[in-house]
Amino acid sequence: MLRPAAGAARLRLDSTSVPDSNRATGEQTPTAGSYREVVEPERLVWAWQSSEPLPEESVVTITLTDLAENKTRMHFTQVGFTWGVFEYGIANTRAGFSEEIDKLAKYLANI
């Protein structure tokens, strides 16, 4: 299993584009970046950059909080969008992370 370390691990994701929050086109958007901070078991921070129409780098922080009864709260923050692509970026980010969280929940339910 890959253990990410700040500055030592690169990441690459190819995600399906979500124009207007609709996966109808099925286009792939390559995204690459690097981990900036790994604090087990509390926080994971990475910077990433995709191709057009979101060419700027953004930084994602996931903070984990241990709750009672074997539950964990995941708080996501993403910064770095410019106003010109803000609406598009928010729609894509929300849809993409929601899909991945659903996949994670299904995976965790089966282990």
- Residues contacting 70, CB < 8 A, separation 6+: none
Is 5 domain-assigned?
A: no
Our CA angle for 21, 100, 105, nearest 5°, is 130
For residue 16, the domain's CATH number is 3.30.530.20
Q: For the chain, what is the domain count?
A: 1
DSSP 8-state class, residue 93: H
Tell me the C-alpha distance between 108 and 73, whole Å. 14
Does 21 have pLDDT greater than 50?
no
- Within a domain: residue 22? yes
Q: What is the pTM of this model?
A: 0.70
Residue 84 lies in a domain: yes
User: Which residue range is the domain that position 63 belongs to?
Assistant: 10-109
Report which residue type is found at 55.
Answer: P
* pLDDT value at residue 25: 60
Q: Which of 12-21, 33-42, 86-95 has the highest mean pLDDT?
A: 33-42
Whether residue 58 lies inside any domain: the answer is: yes
- Cis peptide bond N-terminal to 41, omega within 30: yes
| Residue 89 confidence (pLDDT) | 65
Q: How far apart are CA 18 and CA 28, in angstroms?
A: 9
Q: What is the DSSP letter of 80?
A: -
List, for residues 43-100, the tens digit of each pLDDT value. Answer: 999 888 776 555 678 889 999 999 988 889 999 988 887 655 666 667 777 777 888 8
